[in-house]
Amino acid sequence: MRRRSRVVALAAATWALLGGQAYALGSSSTYTWQQIYAMGHLNAHNGRLLPGCHMYPWSYSIHPPEGVNWEVDVYIDGPNNTHLATAGLLKGADGLNGVRYYRLCSAIAPKGTYTIVSVMNLWDSSGVDHAAHLPVVHYTLS
């Protein structure tokens, strides 16, 4: 839960820095950080932590506004906030939906709750970067 509270605190701090203002994307649209937060989600299912090293899947679905460049930075942490993997999704290189994998070895990763934290970056027509966290994902490998 510490990781989740840090993410919530970061989102609140971001909102405070923006003075509660909307993000301006393009010349005719504005989006709040809550709207950006709703533009995508990731998912991973509960499962078994297998002995040895194996590939574990996670999926994503991104729904950015049309004509806006985007990228998503993904961070996968294990129990006790142990950083395990990083991935990136990029407009033009990745589709709007898909499945990706990360390699995990049971010798270094204990059974428990795993967390995926992601940040979506959008660039408006003037090249200004706007970022917001996507929903945090928690899943268990037992």
> Tens digit of pLDDT for each residue in 51-72?
999 999 999 999 998 888 999 9
Rounded Cα distance between 74 and 88, Å, is 6
Question: Predicted confidence band at 131 (pLDDT cuts at 50, 70, 90)?
Answer: confident
For the chain, counts of helices (H) and of strands (E): 2, 10
Looking up tokens 């590939």, which residue turns up? 55
pLDDT value for 30: 59
Whole-number pLDDT of residue 66: 87
What's the pTM value of the predicted model, to 2 decimals?
A: 0.78
Inform me whether the pLDDT recorded for 12 exceeds 70: no
Q: What is the pLDDT of residue 20?
A: 42
User: Tokens for 11?
Assistant: 């989102």
* Sign of the alpha-carbon dihedral angle for 85, 3, 70, 65: positive
Residues 88 and 72 sit within 8 Å (Cβ to Cβ): yes
Query: For position 126, what pLDDT does the model report?
Result: 72
